[in-house]
A and B are shown apart, each in its own frame.
Chain A
Amino acid sequence: MAGGHRIVLVTGVSRDLGRRFARSVASDPEVRRVIGVDVVPPRGDMGDVSFVRADIRNPVIAKVIAKEDVDTVVHMSVIATPGATGSRGAMKELNVIGTMQLLAACQQAPGLRSLVVKSTTTVYGASSRDPAMFTEDMEPRRAPRAGYAKDVAEIESYVRGFARRRPDVRVTTIRAANVLGPHVVSPITSYFRLPVVPTVVGHDPRLQFLHEDDLVSVLRHAVVTDAAGTFNVAGDGVLMLSQAVRRLRRPSLPMPASAVGRVGSVLRSARVADFSPEQIGFLTYGRGVDTTRMRAVLGFEPAFTTAEAFADLAAVLPPTGGYAERALGRLARALPSSPEGAADGGLPRRTAPGTSPSGARHG
């Protein structure tokens, strides 16, 4: 808020990621003022962000944009599950109608210079016919018919329409991979929080994650950069689901896809976990996105790889399994001489309690 000139409006600040981003962008030297908009007030500390209680689903938002002389709009009010809104109908209303109203208001705002939309890689869907890595110009192999994926696809098409009608506004769409972090509450994190992780039998999907800090920084970067267009944003590398569950030291329970869906809906109705129906496809076939454009055009480098982002989540989740691993560790320690370095055949070993200095002296 130090002498900048940008006035940023952020939607969806009542949720944790929106609030954190609003606070973070407020500290940017280029930014003069940040206005957070949502239907309900945020729970946490907003810092320098001024909060305006407004519903993006009605035209009041246009007045806010005009009155505050906003030049940058960051749209983060797209929700993946009905959650607190209650029903799928309300969720769709908020996602699609909210975006339409917001874009209509943006079109009327002459001072607007850039629009940043937080989208998701869920738009690519998940199927057996997917290429290994989706680039930004690829379409989903099967058009989404319902749910979050369809909402996002519609939102992106409205955003493209807006970009055509207002060529003077720089439109940046960030397709973020599944966001992970110790503070994130999302379908995928509540899935990994389950003490026994249900998996789809016979399938081992590839997963890509984005750390919550990286999401905040890529959106900040998108506010100040000149790059326009659509960008996949994900941490480097992929993890298989089996690998991820093992890293959590949690047992997995393979079951048919329909049973996973049923478990998901039971958990949702019991309010234990927030499962979304698209997740079954994701957990069966997985998805990978190509992030070449993120580096080359957007000029952003995530601080966390997929594995590091996952490790950050795993650090706060107590293990519920991993007995075999611990038994092996004890056995390795009990060996008469546990040689160091050479034991791994040159491969890096991150967890090496089995090696001891005495072993090094022997070898």
Chain B
Amino acid sequence: MGDAEIIPIGTRGRPGRGTGRPPSSAARQLAPGKPRPRAARAGQDGTAAPDATEATDATEATDATGEPTGEAAAGAPAPEPGPAPAPAVERGPVTTTDRGPLAGIPAADWLAAFQHASRELFGEQWEPQLARFLAFLRRRLTGEYDIDEYGFDREVTERFFMAALRPIARTWFRIEVRGAENIPATGGALVVSNHSGTIPIDGLMTMTSVHDHTGRFLRPLGADLVFRLPVVSSMARRSGATLACGEDAERMLRGGELVGVWPEGFKGIGKPYSERYKLQRFGRGGFVASALRTGVPIVPLAVVGAEEIYPLVGNVPSLARLLGVPYLPITPFFPLLGPLGLVPLPSKWLLEFGEPVRTDAYDDGAAEDPMLVFNVTDQVRETIQQTLYSLLVQRESVFR
């Protein structure tokens, strides 16, 4: 055991990185106290001769500082000349670029990695898949895609918006859809829904669910605030929304679109948690007039679950007025937890589409008869309210 190689572990209390080697000159300068003469230390550590590290350390120290400065220079006795300045000059300082992580990988490996990644992403048929994806990217980049007159971008809605919302709808809210067969497969129809949840997530979830169950795109009608806000406005137009006004609603319905409307508006979405599942006034019945004029069926929709995602317990009206928004919500978690408070609670959602209310049986001037419009509005509102009550009874709990 006498000739066993001694591998020192740790630095034995001296400054350094635990390599067992003497600390670098930079580390030595950090350490308190005077550096010891180099030769003595070398002998003590048992290394036969100062190796290349030692030499580069020496050159680096002089390179970096230029001239010896500070306490090291003032307090230290003149260090003995290092034994190996000559090899250091020959070798030159080691730079990090020489050890670049990508330097040593051959092109064939790159290609193989690329092919493997493509196969992982696109499956065995990766070449046409990748070509299709590239074509899609190019089409987006060159603007060679079509939008309709409302700004609806079908491709981006299907590939991005729906794809992003679908997991939320399925796994976070576990949406259960009933009565999807009440949505007409073709032609114009007006889906009328209750509105709740502080942020119009119920609209997005309804759009996703309708698309998943019928393959049709629900074209939502939004308040003018939606089209005033930056980012929101361009996303809304792209996903098929348009302004909630009679002209646009009738134009879309005449064009055979499936239009979604939330007649409660901000009164519904911004109501306090204590008033959950109590329908507010259904606007002025404009949606019924539009349906009567175009003769399309009205499909009532009751959404249960959206009330609980952000329980609205307070409001800051003065700040809301300042910001020009209808209300500024306070929930148990927002603004208390900051951005984390924006995560919706994972309530269980039920969507029930009711029996369509036909409007084509009325004669032409029906939309100009306010009493008839009020009656139909009340009929739709009552249907939704009753469905809400029955769904609430069926629901086991908020989160199951």
Contact = CB atoms under 8 A, between A and B. Distances in A.
Interface of A: 128-133, 135, 138, 200-204, 206, 237-240, 242-247, 249, 285-286, 288, 290, 322, 324-325, 328-329, 331-332, 335-339, 342-345, 347, 349-351, 354, 363
Given A204-B233, A328-B134, A351-B144, 14 more contacts: A129-B227, A130-B243, A132-B151, A132-B251, A203-B230, A204-B234, A242-B234, A243-B147, A245-B143, A286-B151, A322-B141, A325-B141, A328-B137, A343-B132
Of all A-B residue pairs in the complex, the 6 with the closest CB atoms, nearest first, are: A202-B230, A246-B143, A204-B234, A128-B228, A243-B143, A202-B231
A343 B128 contact: yes
17 contacts: A131-B243, A131-B247, A132-B251, A138-B247, A200-B230, A204-B151, A206-B147, A238-B149, A243-B143, A324-B141, A325-B142, A335-B134, A337-B127, A343-B131, A349-B135, A351-B144, A354-B134
Contact of A332 (B134, B144, B146, B228): B134
B305 to A, nearest CB: 30
Given A129-B224, A237-B149, A354-B134, A247 B243 contact: no
B245 interface: yes
Given A131-B247, A132-B248, A204-B237, A246 B128 contact: no
Contacts of A201: 230
A340 to B, nearest CB: 10
Contacts of B150: 132, 206
B139 interface: yes
Given A128-B224, A129-B224, A332-B131, A204 B238 contact: yes
Contacts of B131: 332, 335, 338-339, 343, 354
A193 B400 CA distance: 58
Interface in B219-264: 224-225, 227-234, 237-238, 242-243, 245, 247-248, 251
Interface of B: 127-128, 130-132, 134-135, 137-151, 153, 224-225, 227-234, 237-238, 242-243, 245, 247-248, 251
Given A132-B243, A201-B230, A238-B149, A247 B144 contact: yes
Contacts of A131: 242-243, 245, 247-248, 251
Given A240-B151, A243-B147, A331-B134, A203 B233 contact: yes
Interface majority SS (helix, strand, loop, mixed), chain B: helix
Residue from the set A201, A246, A329 with the largest chain B CB neighbour count within 10 Å: A246
A206 B248 contact: no
A238 B138 contact: no
A206 to B, nearest CB: 5
Given A131-B245, A131-B247, A202-B233, A243 B139 contact: no
A129 B247 CA distance: 12
A297 B149 CA distance: 21
Given A243-B147, A337-B127, A129 B142 contact: no
Contacts, number: 132
A342 B129 CA distance: 10
Given A131-B247, A133-B251, A238-B147, A344 B132 contact: yes
Residue from the set B130, B151, B224, B231 with the largest chain A CB neighbour count within 10 Å: B151
Contacts of B229: 202
A350 B224 CA distance: 36
Contact of A133 (B132, B137, B149, B231): B149
Contact of A244 (B135, B143, B231, B248): B143
A345 B154 CA distance: 14
A286 B131 CA distance: 35
B227 A128 contact: yes
Contacts of B143: 239, 242-247
A206 B248 CA distance: 15
B142 to A, nearest CB: 5
Contacts of A343: 128, 131-132, 135
B141 A246 contact: yes
B128 A206 contact: no
A237 B152 CA distance: 12
Contact of A240 (B135, B137, B147, B225): B147
B142 A351 contact: yes
A343 B127 CA distance: 10
Contacts of B234: 202-204, 242
Residue from the set A138, A242, A343, A349 with the largest chain B CB neighbour count within 10 Å: A343
Contacts of B233: 128, 202-204
A245 B142 CA distance: 9
A246 B224 CA distance: 28
B130 A335 contact: yes
B242 A132 contact: yes
Contacts of B148: 238
B265 to A, nearest CB: 14
Contacts of A328: 134, 137-138, 141
Contact of A249 (B130, B142, B153): B142
Given A128-B224, A243-B143, A329 B230 contact: no
A132 B237 CA distance: 10
Nearest to B227: A128
Contacts of B248: 131-133
A202 B230 CA distance: 4
A329 B142 CA distance: 11
Contact of A206 (B137, B140, B237): B237
B135 A332 contact: yes
